[in-house]
Amino acid sequence: MVLPVTVGAARSPEGLTAADWAAREAVLRAAPLRLLRARRRPAAGSHPPEPDGSWLSAKVSELSTRHPQLEITVEEAADDPAKALAASTEKSQLVVIGSRPAHAVTTRLTGSLALGLVAHARGPVVVVPEGSAHGADTERPVVAGLDLRTVPDPVLAYALQAARREHHPLRAVHVWSLQGVYSYPSALPNPKVGANAKSAASPALRAALAAAGAGEAEVPVEGVLRSGAVGPRLLHSAAGAGLLVVGHRARRHLPLGSRIGPVTHAALQHAVAPVAVVPCE
């Protein structure tokens, strides 16, 4: 059985954008599309108004017309949306949700849905800003943020597959920071320490690319090394990207909505492109 691409069904502009993006992704993967509409159970004794599902039917009709080969299903869940979508990652190729767009002088409003979902997902999650068009420009690279601690790297593997599907170039970025080298703050860091860190990172990046099969990717692959604060440097390297891929090390013993790592959080808050978050065990 082919697992579906699942999208959080929402009537908002960002929710409708996510449905469009997920439909295109499902077509590329030759997978069915599932629209999951999750709502909390009404309080005991309350009588909520009957929901208007006409917008959802209209969206399904629109997607069916645009992608006649796509199998589309709709599922309702009487649960917290973050919990329902997190549970769906175990039976989906990936889960897609929408977000408000980030701008040059502002940050994206990343709410509890995205943060809670990413923190507890067991599979890839893509957060799509309102207005994003899937594969609109094949010159835009897929950018992968790598930490080089795991080989093979699941972030790099996901990014490479995404680049292959639509023939986008791949930019694999590793940012090393002197904060990870010094055990104490140093006003005058030794230049040799930074040079040694870069010398160590360069073969590690080449090894990660080789282990992922980047040499046989049939798309242009660029390895990039940067130094400095990881989040800002990665975002700078992702300028103009069609997709930014980052990792997340799950902390499933913590409650839903718990804090995610600073680099992943920065990507979700500030990246202009869709952000794919891949669990790294």
Please check whether residue 271 lies inside any domain of the structure: no
User: Quick check: 239 pLDDT over 50?
Assistant: yes
Query: Do residues 61 and 168 share a domain?
Result: no
Distance CA 135, CA 168 (A): 9
Average pLDDT over residues 218-234: 93
Tell me how many domains the chain contains. 2
> 40 in helix, strand or coil?
coil
Distance CA 62, CA 34 (A): 14
Query: Do residues 100 and 170 share a domain?
Result: no
144-158, 210-224, 254-268: least confidently modelled range: 254-268
Domain range for 125: 1-42+53-136
Query: Do residues 174 and 229 share a domain?
Result: yes
Residue 107 banded pLDDT, cuts 50, 70, 90:
very low
Which tops the pLDDT comparison, 256 or 232? 232
Instruction: Give backbone dihedrals phi and psi of 245, rounded to 5 degrees, phi first.
Output: -115, 125
Question: CB–CB of 72/60 below 8 Å?
Answer: yes
pTM of the model: 0.88
* Strand stretches in the chain, DSSP E: 5-8, 33-39, 72-78, 94-99, 125-129, 142-146, 170-176, 221-227, 243-248, 275-279
Q: What per-residue confidence (pLDDT) applies to 222?
A: 95
> 101 in helix, strand or coil?
coil
The kind and range of the H/E element at 36 are strand 33-39
| Amino acid, res. 28 | L
Query: Do residues 131 and 18 share a domain?
Result: yes
Contacts of 112 (CB under 8 A, 6+ apart): 82, 257
Query: Do residues 184 and 92 share a domain?
Result: no
Q: What per-residue confidence (pLDDT) applies to 249?
A: 81
Question: CB–CB of 147/174 below 8 Å?
Answer: yes
Query: Do residues 77 and 187 share a domain?
Result: no
Distance CA 94, CA 5 (A): 5
Q: What per-residue confidence (pLDDT) applies to 183?
A: 57
Please check whether residue 184 lies inside any domain of the structure: yes
Please tell me what DSSP assigns to residue 89. G
38-47, 86-95, 229-238: least confidently modelled range: 38-47
Question: CB–CB of 96/21 below 8 Å?
Answer: yes
CA atoms within 13 A on the CB side of 137: 9
User: Quick check: 59 pLDDT over 90?
Assistant: yes
Query: Do residues 235 and 120 share a domain?
Result: no
